[in-house]
Amino acid sequence: MNGYRREKNVSDRKRRHGEQQADIRQPSTTGHRSEELRLVTAPPQQGAFVVFLVYHNMEVIKEAFAKSKAESRVALVTYVTSGYPTVGETPDIMMSMQAGGADIIELGIPIAAHPMTESPTIQQANAKALENGVQLPHILQMVKSARKQGLTVPVLLVGYYNPLHEYPYGEDKLLRDCNAAGVDGLVIVDLPPGDIVRFRDLCKSKGLSYIPLVAPSTPNSHMGMLCNIADSFICIVSRMGVSGTHEKPYGCAEDLLHRVHDCTGNSVPVAVGLGISTRQDLIDIARAAEGVVIGCPIIYLLGNAAPGTGAQKVKEYCLRVAGRTENQIVIPERRKQNNQPMSSTTVYLSYDGAGDTPEGTETATSLRDTNTRVENFNCQYIPRTLKEGLAELENGFQAANADPAFWAEINSYAAYANRPSPLHLAPRLSQFANGARIWLKREDLNHTGSHKINNALGQIILARRLGKTSIIAETGVGQHGVATATLCAQFGMECTIYMGSEDFEREAVAVMHMHILGAVVISVDAEYSGGKGTIRDAVNEAFRVWETELQTTHFVIGSTFGPHPYPTIVRTFQTVIGTETRAQFTAMNSGRLPDAVVACVGGGSNAVGLFYPFLDDSSVALVGVEGRGGCMAGPSDESIDIAHGLPTYLPWDDDKENGKTHSVSAGLDYPGIGPELASWKESGRAMIGPATEAEVLMAFSLLSQREGIIPALESSHAVAGAMRTAKELGPGHNVVVCLSGRGDRDVVAHIVSTLGVDDA
């Protein structure tokens, strides 16, 4: 580098040199934006003199708002998902937005997961963009291409943090590449409060603006921090996703706008993204806001446009919604960065280990290929507003878990829940299996007929401790819904249960039970197709509702899925299964442990509850059994993805789409497993595999006719696995199977017709 040095970070250099800094203002040139330059000098070392020049792009964003204000109108901010509907169309769409009067353009960063707060329209666009192979290097190339075509309006990247985190050589390199490509700022939906200031400062050091998001649930204390760091504008959203809703915007935004304006002293422009789609919506918002963000209508329009017509339709829509004509649109000029003379001594603050320009961006490796291993399954990929609610939940749970009075209250309901549940030998089933002896842990004898009451009891007592007055929950087969509704009745709490529409129809008896118990049961259709919904859709809807009701409502998740701390909470309350099993079995077998413990796996609550107390006993095999086509069906290096806020194993169908499941049992239709089961499977500690429907129905019949016990279809999966394991182990060994639920409802809904039982 001809004697010039490259520094890894600012703090190291400051410690060594005690540098001097100065902010220099470069006068604007007519037709060009003003530039704020940051000059950093350091004492020479071995003859080197270092100069850092950074161009601050937030000035062009400020000028966009100033221009619209001077023209007595609201600034129009338009959104499109990068690479949707095709990669090649995105630069043309950006140019059409500019021609249609957009003052700022937002480019959405597609994410492989389906964030729970996004509208189906945005989720479909994300899925299509990823199918087209879009990653961040491609997005930057799209911006470069549009700039070469004459795009001059500011461009913002909008999305979740995970794709940024995976960028080669880190955040510093990404932000430099963004600046070089012509990006002016970033909107990152899910940055935790502790990282926001750090990331904003990093953006600013690279000449980029970080745009804070404010939602109705944002606390005043947190809002103050967001308003203080805003350097270009603030965006108001109804939920912490990148998309809006179909709510009438102004009524939802009015109070929040006043709060933000009061917080900033009206010194920072505010743009509103609250389901705006029509000219009247824009007029309503313009009464109080400086800008509007429109995304979903544009995505919907592109999705329904004939090939090759999307860009023109976007231009026409922008003109129409803004109430302007083409001859009223004045395209601002933009100084090209490569025309600015730069000192030959210019260097950057980060070391990237490679050249400054990404190579081979057209052939970038897919996200699936670069994310084949997840070292820590127990984490969070969620909107910031949910992080605040989850932080409250985690702190409350940790305090309760350490409080003997909390556990004393739970234990006081042991008789109500019918605990401890029995453990006994199944002699005739063992005889049929012709191998190891099979023992049954009878969670089906609990109050409400399944293991679900263990977790529901703990979470509802925790919710009362946190001062919540309302409970929401998801359910598939209905066992968790019935358990939750039962305990809400016991404690006098409001209860709403979300259920996929397919499950709502096939589990009519469970729905009736929940209604009798006083719960409101809401049927949820599939998000993408509008067809029949399952447990996944119910979870999505419950999360959306919970985000808007965090102050008064607790979401009782029924299994070990969802973002931290939910898997830990559910496992803690379900560990009673394994703890009792261990004590009961050793008492009946002279201190000997079983050779294997077996449980069905949907989300995994009964499995993790049974397995956890045996985790350190290497002599005890942990065996999980899923429905056919479950999340372990595909190769492990292609089946890790994000669902409902955490990384997990997901199934892949023939079209290479993840998250799609179908089981004879509604309770096993969840498209993932909890973090601990995922990590145990990854390490080889647990063996998890599928059972066919034929095996499940055979197990159902055998247990019913040989032991006089009618199991739930979920439990029948475990029975099938236990019989298989017993044959493999052979005589002289012992297998314990968790009978997680009884099959009364399954008899009505499925079994009579499937098995051809004569009801005469």
Q: Using DSSP bridges, classify how beta strands 104-108 and 155-159 pair: parallel, antiparallel or unpaired.
A: parallel
Which residues lie below 8 Å from residue 15, measured CB to CB, with a gap of 6+?
none
The full length of the chain comes to 760
d(CA 74, CA 321): 11
d(CA 606, CA 597): 11
d(CA 689, CA 630): 8
Output the 3-class SS for 518-577: CCEEEEECCCCCCCCCCHHHHHHHHHHHHHHCCCCEEEECCCCCCCCCHHHHHHHHHCHH
Q: Residue 647, preceding bond cis, omega within 30 degrees?
A: no
Q: Of 400, 483, 480, which Cα lies nearest the Cα of 448?
A: 483
Which residues lie below 8 Å from residue 477, measured CB to CB, with a gap of 6+?
503, 507, 510, 665, 666, 667, 712, 713, 714, 741, 745, 746
DSSP H or E segment with residue 395: helix 384-401
Residue 345 is which amino acid? T
How many CB atoms sit inside 10 A of residue 694's CB?
Answer: 11
Reply yes or no on whether 7 is catalytic: no
CB 61, CB 233: distance < 8 Å: yes
d(CA 325, CA 211): 29
CB 191, CB 158: distance < 8 Å: no
Residue 146 is which amino acid? A
Which residues lie below 8 Å from residue 260, measured CB to CB, with a gap of 6+?
214, 223, 227, 234, 236, 270
Reply yes or no on whether 474 is catalytic: yes
Surface-to-core class of residue 131, CB atoms within 10 Å of its CB (0-12 exposed, 13-18 middle, 19+ buried): middle
How many CB atoms sit inside 10 A of residue 378's CB?
Answer: 18
Reply yes or no on whether 14 is catalytic: no
Output the 3-class SS for 699-728: HHHHHHHHHCCCECHHHHHHHHHHHHHHHH
Give the pair of three-digit tokens for residue 523. Answer: 């049927």
CB 592, CB 420: distance < 8 Å: no
d(CA 331, CA 31): 11
Within 13 Å and on the Cβ side, how many CA atoms surround 77? 35
Terminal-to-terminal C-alpha distance of the chain: 91
Q: Where are the alpha helices (DSSP H) in 84-132?
A: 89-99, 120-131
DSSP H or E segment with residue 407: helix 404-411
Catalytic residue (one of 474, 541, 695, 714): 474
Within 13 Å and on the Cβ side, how many CA atoms surround 147? 20
Give the pair of three-digit tokens for residue 249. Answer: 């915007």
CB 706, CB 586: distance < 8 Å: no
d(CA 760, CA 757): 9
Output the 3-class SS for 194-258: HHHHHHHHHHHHCCCEECCEECCCCCHHHHHHHHHHCCCCEEEECCCCCCCCCCCHHHHHHHHHH
CB 115, CB 158: distance < 8 Å: no
Q: Three-state DSSP class for 315?
A: helix
Catalytic residue (one of 452, 559, 580, 693): 452
Which residues lie below 8 Å from residue 571, measured CB to CB, with a gap of 6+?
560, 605, 608, 609, 612, 674, 676
Angle of the 452-465 helix axis to the 404-411 helix axis, nearest 10? 130
Q: Would you please indicate which residues are annotated as catalytic (active-site) residues?
A: 452, 474, 740
